Amino acid sequence: METAAFYHRPESEYAYIYAPGHVHIRLRTKKGDVAKVGFIQGDPFNLHLRDWYQEEKEMELLSSTDLHDYWLIDTDEPVKRMAYAFHVYGKDGSDVIYNDRGVFPYLKEQLTNSGMYFRLPYFHETDRFKAPDWVKKTIWYQIFPERFHNGDEDNDPEGVLEWDSKTELSTVDFYGGDIQGILDKLDYLEDLGINGIYLTPIFTAPSNHKYDTTDYYEIDPHFGDKALFREFVEEAHKRGMRVMLDAVFNHIGAESTQWRDVAQYQEDSRFKEWFHIQEYPVPSAEEIQAHGPHYMEHAENLPYETYAYVPMMPKINTHNPEVQEYLLNIATYWIKEFDIDGWRLDVANEVDHTFWRKFNEACLSLKSDFYILGEIWTSSRAWLEGDEFHGVMNYSLVGNIIDYFVGKSIPARKMANVMNEQLAQYRKQTHETMFNMLDSHDTARVLTMAEGDIDLVKSTLAFMFLMHGSPCIYYGTEVGMMGGPDPQCRRCMIWDEEKQDRSMYEFTKELIQLRKEYQPLLSYGMLRWELVLDEEKIVGVRRDLGDDEIIGYFNQGYDDFEIPHDESTKVVLHHLSNEAEGKSVIAPNGFTIHTRRQK
């Protein structure tokens, strides 16, 4: 038995309170190396009174990757502290004890030493990672306000273009989308089944994307005003829809008051410590705009730090106490004054952890079920310990799905292995509040990635809707919109129904309804692999909770594939699948989703 592959760490994603009375314990071992794992646990202070070391419960083999097996037990006993160890049985016939001091041959006498056990010293409810429960039940809809709908032509920017009038977009195009336009389309979103709206930045900024903020306290005048925004939030809440705004706290626009002061007074500016400036002089917004090619050519050698070498976006110094106070006041202002439900944090991994902890405390002190979502494209353990974010934009998970379904670049088993590895990275309640999307304002649209294959998109979207986390529809995906990488992915929403793919719209409605109808299963159920066939390109994924199961089978191969049913099976959604008595025959790019009760 390869004991060097053993891994466990108390008070981490390997040992945590999932819910009051439920502690999840995980163990990692070498793939295929271990026959079973016994879990030994008890109160460290009554070891010699109860002799609990003589009893063990069997752990469940939860998942596997190409390298490791992951074991799980949910200890649902009403205890307040825990000492524990693992009795690991190798397939080679050996068995060992793995505890806080290492790996030892199994000797029962060793188990009488309370100092050798892993410990969870005391279960403090304040330490439990609490994720907002409503997020787990939310289907998000992401809106890029400038391109969604022009509801008020009186606030259009100068030089506004006719709606969707250009084939190729540029970064300086304006079409007049605004908050009134979103308010006007709430009936549409309600009909679709949406109960969460995520808006990219709406604060004053010169660009169409607004990620170069000028004033965080004002709605951009081309979008509307605070009275209109308040009306929008109130109307959304009446319809059971939550509202999440986009906070850009990594950088600020060069047209902001703070950077203008630095550009004017240089070393003597009262705001000089608000930025990361290496040398003076630094340019003004006007100088950057007037000599754009020069500054872009020398962006890596600018005398100040920026976001991604963009001269118009100087990076903010969040170590500075004045900056912290300024940003935290902004974060709490929009909660107190307008009752927003969440912040999506742009470029969140480039801001220090100390600031995000203060941000978390400030927001949750006002609204205990407030949602904090970070934009992080890679593994995010450090931000998801419970004192910073509740979730991240789940590009890692969804990228793996796209690689299999759309890119055809990995086999089915590789997708399953990578997803199992990702599931082991975080606590279960963290997975339940991740933000899953196939496309966004930062990526090509999924239908373009799929080269126009709408059946492939439907299968990919359905697969994503079966995952842990709250799914998000990028505006227009539900009507078959296409678009390449930024800025082509930010096209004007298609409102002419004759130009919409209405079958895709109806399919999306069905998928959203499925997610809501089987909400406990899809929000809280465990995720397992029912079937993984590389050669046939078939995957079956299962979510289970108690005695209930929902299973999706997806055919990405070249031939029809048959799935047998039993008498407890109920087909709840399918596409390109012939549902007959006792079986489903799934065509290429098709899928079938079943529910059943465990016997």
Catalytic residues: 346, 375
Return d(Cα 129, Cα 136) in angstroms, integer.
14
β-pairing verdict for 391-392 and 435-437: unpaired
Supply angle C-alpha 433, 439, 443, rounded to 5.
Answer: 120
β-pairing verdict for 196-199 and 140-143: parallel
CA dihedral 589, 415, 506, 478 (to 10 degrees): -120
Specify whether the CB–CB gap between 541 and 401 falls below 8 A.
no
Per DSSP, the residues of 346-386 read TTGGGS-HHHHHHHHHHHHHH-TT-EEEE--SS--GGG-SS
Specify whether the CB–CB gap between 29 and 6 falls below 8 A.
yes
Q: Tell me the three state secondary structure of residue 469.
A: coil
For residue 198, give the H/E element and its range: strand 196-199
**Cα–Cα nearest to 429, from 146, 87, 225, 136:** 136
Contacts of 265 (CB under 8 A, 6+ apart): none
Per DSSP, the residues of 36-63 read EEEEEEE-TTSHHHH-GGG--EEPEEEE
For residue 330, give the H/E element and its range: helix 321-338
Cα–Cα separations (whole angstroms), residue 394 to 213, 399, 433, 440: 25, 8, 10, 11
Specify whether the CB–CB gap between 430 and 129 falls below 8 A.
yes
> Looking at the chain, how many residues does it have?
599
Per DSSP, the residues of 533-583 read ETTTTEEEEEEEETTEEEEEEEE-SSS-EEEE--TT-EEEEEEEEEEETTE
Return d(Cα 16, Cα 125) in angstroms, integer.
11
Contacts of 566 (CB under 8 A, 6+ apart): 596
Alpha-helical (H) ranges within 152-277 are 179-184, 186-192, 226-238, 257-265
Return d(Cα 420, Cα 2) in angstroms, integer.
21
Residue 94, CB-side half-sphere exposure with 13 Å CA sphere: 11
